[in-house]
Amino acid sequence: MTTKMRWLGTACFEIVLPDNQTIVIDPYVDDSVSSPITSDQFEGCNYIFITHGHYDHVLDVGKLAHRFRPKVFCSEVTAGSLIKHQGVPPSVINRVNPGDMVQEEGLTVEVLRGAHVDFSREYLRLTGRDLADEGPDPKAMIEKALMAMMGTDQAPNQLLEWMSKYPQGEQLNFVFEPVGGKRIYMAGSYPDPEVIEEAKKAKAHITLLQVLPGKTLAGIEEQVAQLAIASGCKIAVPQHHDPLFPGAIKTDLSQLKKIMKEKTDIDFMELVPGEWYDF
pLDDT at 140: 77
- Strand residues in 114-261 grouped as ranges (E): 172-178, 184-187, 206-210, 235-239
Q: Which domains does the chain have, with CATH numbers?
A: 4-118+163-278 (3.60.15.10), 119-162 (no CATH)
pLDDT in tens, 92-142: 999 999 999 999 999 999 999 999 998 888 888 988 999 888 878 877 777
pLDDT at 134: 80
Number of H helices and E strands in the chain, helices first, is 9, 14
* The dihedral sign for the CA sequence 256, 271, 147, 28: negative
pLDDT at 116: 94
Mean pLDDT confidence for 179-194: 95
Residue-level length of the chain:
279
- Angle CA(239)–CA(270)–CA(237) in degrees, nearest 5? 50
pLDDT at 143: 76
pLDDT in tens, 223-259: 999 999 999 999 999 999 999 999 999 999 999 999 9
pLDDT at 153: 81
Selected residue with higher pLDDT from 143 and 264: 264
What are the φ and ψ backbone dihedral angles of 61, each rounded to 5 degrees? -60, -45
- Residue 34: pLDDT above 80? yes
190 close to 115: Cβ distance less than 8 angstroms: yes
Mean pLDDT confidence for 184-213: 96
- pTM score over 0.75: yes
Torsion angle of alpha carbons 111, 117, 120, 121, nearest 10°? 100
Mean pLDDT confidence for 52-76: 98
Alpha helices in 131-192 (DSSP H): 138-150, 159-165
CA–CA dist 87, 65 (Å, integer): 9
pLDDT at 136: 81
**pLDDT grade, residue 145 (50/70/90)?**
confident
